[in-house]
Structure 1
Amino acid sequence: MVKRGRGRPKKISPDNLTDRGKRMEKCEDIPEFFKIYVPAMCTDSMRIPPEFIKKIGGNIPRIARLTREPGLLSWQVSVSRNDEHWFLGEGWAEFVQENSVENGDFLTFSYVGNSTFSVKVFGPNGCRKSIEDRSSIKYGKSTENDLQGDDGTSESG
């Protein structure tokens, strides 16, 4: 093992990913997908890629939470199935509007567990878009029944 001098940054590799002292999963283990926003195709709802559904074992909650900054901003959206396709529905348009998602924006969705997706939005210039209002928490409409899984158990705890 090579001894590193003081002040030299630790080498980052897929085998030693850490986050605030906690062990993180390797990047390839985190289920994620991307979408390019095209208003004509996904203004009111957005289709979830079928391969992503397979990767998480088909275990899709009826309500998902989209977060832009963990612990600060989140939006609840309904998840529904139409034939063989899954969609983010009610609450999606609010997320798009409140995050100023525009034609050609590139969005990444990382499933972090507990029905939550971490979403990053990049503009056509290739840079990550910032969030204007960082002080409030946003939630879409939901009811107590919406927060229950298909088996009738609560997903919140």
Structure 2
Amino acid sequence: MSSSAAETSSMFYSMILPSTIHNKMLRIPLKFVGQFGDELSSIAKLAVPDGRVWQVGLTKFGRKIWFDQGWQNFVESQSISAGYFLLFKYEKNSIFRVLIFDMTACEIDYPYEDDMACEMCVEISEEQFKHEAELLSRKRKMEDGLERDEPNAEPDLLVSLRKSGIYITEKYKELYSTEELERAVYIARAFKATNPKPNPLFMIIWKANDKPCREVYAPARFAYQYVDEDSKSVEVQAPSGRKWSLGIHWRATGGFFLAKGWAGVSDYVHLTEGDICIFELVRHRDVVFKLHVFHQCSKITSWREKFSLVSII
């Protein structure tokens, strides 16, 4: 095995599911265990980028290994919730470096407490991690059939969204960057992970400078399947519970726009460029949508440098 392949195989990622939070343990992937399980001791060390380290027990049963005793302390200290995404890089001597991403696909601001007992034992190298993350991304692309000869070629990310049960119109595909679509796929999967049986959904990416994307368009596929074509208005509920009744304008080719009143909703939830909105259909007969807003984050540039979401599509 080449040194690059060995470095790549020492990394794995994990989506935090509701069951992970409930069970207060996290299972390590079997593929990783098959290669490194024998050298893991009964105690692992988890190091976050600010240099702090947590000791976490490892429970072994056959070829299965879990982060167990002490895992819950790590989760609580980092305020990890269902839908979060963790990237692990195995060093040696049962030491793992960990990056933590929240449901907006942004790396978290790692909380620091002066009086927290921790052990400074791992030096975090930003450039080294960037290199190793790129290796993992390339490997995942090959495994998933996403390796492409043309450097600017893109996977059909809208298909990935539809497979996740979330619709986004292809009409404005050229207005969305690959990074925005990758982030949309991540948020869709995180949303599905925290809502195993969600209601029907559609998604928009807010583009303040492009008139078509300042309007909310429910894709034809979604509208045809879930909304009666005789409907003249819908209700939208903000995360705070506030409600609006909005008129809708049907297109001759299918799908509809949220018409008069949407500007008030967008102002209320403070939409800015790149924000992602999920419209969850919570009541069919009178057409009521619950609005979920995922604001763009200021740390997106550093996140892209560290890890590409192409590797999880």
Instruction: Rate the CA distance shift 1:138–1:110 in 2: closer, same or farther, 3 A.
Output: farther
Instruction: Rate the CA distance shift 1:100–1:123 in 2: closer, same or farther, 3 A.
Output: same
Residue 105 (structure 1) aligned to one of 84, 93, 117: 84
**TM-score in terms of structure 2 length:** 0.34
1:85-124 matches, cutoff 5 A:
85-124=64-103
Q: Is the 8 A contact 1:64 1:117 kept in 2?
A: yes
Q: Is the 8 A contact 2:58 2:66 kept in 1?
A: yes
Q: Letter of the aligned partner of 2:13 in structure 1?
A: F
- Higher helix proportion (structure 1 or 2): 2
Give the corresponding residue for 1:10. Answer: none
Residue 37 (structure 1) aligned to one of 16, 29, 54: 16
Shift of 1:69: 2.1
Separation in 2, partners of 1:98, 1:108: 17
Q: Is the 8 A contact 2:47 2:96 kept in 1?
A: yes
Give the corresponding residue for 1:146. Answer: none
Separation in 1, partners of 2:115, 2:32: 30
3-state DSSP class of the match of 2:73? helix
Separation in 2, partners of 1:83, 1:113: 21
Separation in 1, partners of 2:66, 2:87: 15
Instruction: Rate the CA distance shift 1:57–1:115 in 2: closer, same or farther, 3 A.
Output: closer
Separation in 2, partners of 1:74, 1:134: 13
Q: Is the 8 A contact 1:73 1:136 kept in 2?
A: no
Separation in 2, partners of 1:67, 1:137: 14
Shift of 1:47: 0.5
1:22-101 matches, cutoff 5 A:
26=4, 29-30=7-8, 31-43=10-22, 44-56=24-36, 58-69=38-49, 72-101=51-80
3-state DSSP class of the match of 2:89? strand
Shift of 1:28: 5.4
- Higher strand proportion (structure 1 or 2): 1
Shift of 1:124: 1.2
3-state DSSP class of the match of 2:44? strand
Instruction: Rate the CA distance shift 1:112–1:135 in 2: closer, same or farther, 3 A.
Output: farther
Instruction: Rate the CA distance shift 1:28–1:124 in 2: closer, same or farther, 3 A.
Output: farther
Q: Is the 8 A contact 1:32 1:108 kept in 2?
A: yes
3-state DSSP class of the match of 2:80? coil
Tell me whether 119-128 or 37-46 shows the greater mean CA deviation.
37-46
| Aligned-CA RMSD value | 2.4
Shift of 1:82: 2.4
Gaps of 5+ in 1: 1-24, 141-157
Runs (4+) off by over 6 Å: none
Q: Is the 8 A contact 1:74 1:137 kept in 2?
A: no
3-state DSSP class of the match of 2:20? helix
Instruction: Rate the CA distance shift 1:91–1:40 in 2: closer, same or farther, 3 A.
Output: same
Q: Letter of the aligned partner of 1:33 in structure 2?
A: F
